[in-house]
Amino acid sequence: MSNPTGDPTGNADRTDLGEHATTDEVLAGIDLRGSTAVVTGASTGLGLETARALAAAGGRVVLAVRDDAKGGAALASIRETVPDAAIETAIVDLGSLTSVREFADDVLARTSTIDILINNAGVMYTPFGRTADGFEMQFGTNHLGHFLLTNLLVPAVLAAAPARIVNLSSGGHRGSDIIWDDPNYERRPYDKFESYGQSKTANILFTVELDQRLMSRGVRSYAVHPGMISTELGRHMTRDDMQALLARAKSGPSGGLPARKSIPAGAATSVWAATAPELADVGGVYLADCQIAEASDYALDTASASRLWAMSEAMVGQTFDWG
């Protein structure tokens, strides 16, 4: 990574960053020239803003997108504000392990080093469905797709060390631990809120285990709660879903839903995780509002993290040991 932990402004202690910080504020003084970043779900919303901000800081950014036309529109959008952006697209459908493997081959043919990997893509509160490989849609897309993608790209991330991996989770992880005996809803009724919570807990547990495996080799991993933002992620939500979500939030520890953030503020914690000098010696943590935050105990449990890793390897049909 070229200079994510350097601070030419002399302002390394950025304690003023918080819930309203934007991506550009987080990246002030950060020079990413010479580095390569991969961002999934980069055609719209938080992923698009994350890619734009990293490109504006000088990084080469690969936008991982599902649709070629939307990818082209994303490139054009970024170049409107960052005319000299070093950006390109690559196609991936996280609901297909075959597509994930093809994507990894494509990216590794383009670059031998990845300084920043941001697993931003996801689905939320979807009607019951299964991925191309038969996994429940939210668990399969949000966790298993990124689990395989990350592991296939790890050799290039290790080659760039010190490097970072960022997994987008959510405060919604509090909706469910991993349902160990039936993660794919094969024997019980589907609950879209519980399913989403399980997938977001999986994102945190994956982060914990990934950090344990890679920290000694210069790669740190972070789980991020971006906040509540209006993006295409909520396209499956109905009025009844919103009422049910509000009821759940009122009965939870916060007593209600948080205030909504702008997209630049929502993406800020992702780029903070990817570049902040103050996180250079920290990893395997849950972040929110550009700070280290508290997650549910079950989402940070190291035994569960190891158990999920083994289960995920069995599901994707591949084990990982990078030598």
pLDDT of residue 239: 66
Q: Residue 20 — very low, low, confident or very high, per pLDDT cuts 50/70/90?
A: confident
Give the pTM.
Answer: 0.90
pLDDT of residue 9: 31
In order of their start, the domains of the chain are: 23-315 (3.40.50.720)
- pLDDT beyond 50 at 5: no
Bridge partners of residue 285, in order along the sequence? 222
Q: Residue 72 — very low, low, confident or very high, per pLDDT cuts 50/70/90?
A: very high
Residue with tokens 């909706």: 175
pLDDT of residue 108: 98
Pull the structure tokens for residue 117: 């990997």
Residue predicted with more confidence, 91 or 20: 91
| Residues 89, 75 contacting (CB under 8 angstroms) | yes
Query: Where does the chain have alpha helices with state H?
Result: 23-26, 45-56, 68-81, 97-110, 137-138, 146-159, 192-214, 239-250, 263-266, 268-275, 302-316
Q: Residue 215 — very low, low, confident or very high, per pLDDT cuts 50/70/90?
A: very high
What rounded mean pLDDT belongs to the chain?
A: 90
As a whole number, mean pLDDT of residues 251-257 equals: 56
As a whole number, mean pLDDT of residues 234-249 equals: 61
- pLDDT beyond 60 at 232: no
Rounded CA separation 271/265 (Å)? 10
What is the per-residue pLDDT across 156-187, written as a single tens digit (0 to 9) for each? 999 999 999 999 999 999 999 999 999 999 99
Q: Give the number of other CB atoms < 10 A from CB of residue 94.
A: 27
Rounded CA separation 86/197 (Å)? 35
What is the per-residue pLDDT across 93-125, written as a single tens digit (0 to 9) for each? 999 999 999 999 999 999 999 999 999 999 999
pLDDT of residue 21: 93
pLDDT of residue 8: 31
Which residues are designated catalytic?
196
Cα separations (Å) of 43 from 32, 52, 77, 308?
21, 10, 10, 29
CA 226 to chain centre: 10
Pull the structure tokens for residue 295: 């997650």
pLDDT of residue 15: 53
Q: Give the single-character DSSP code of 257.
A: P
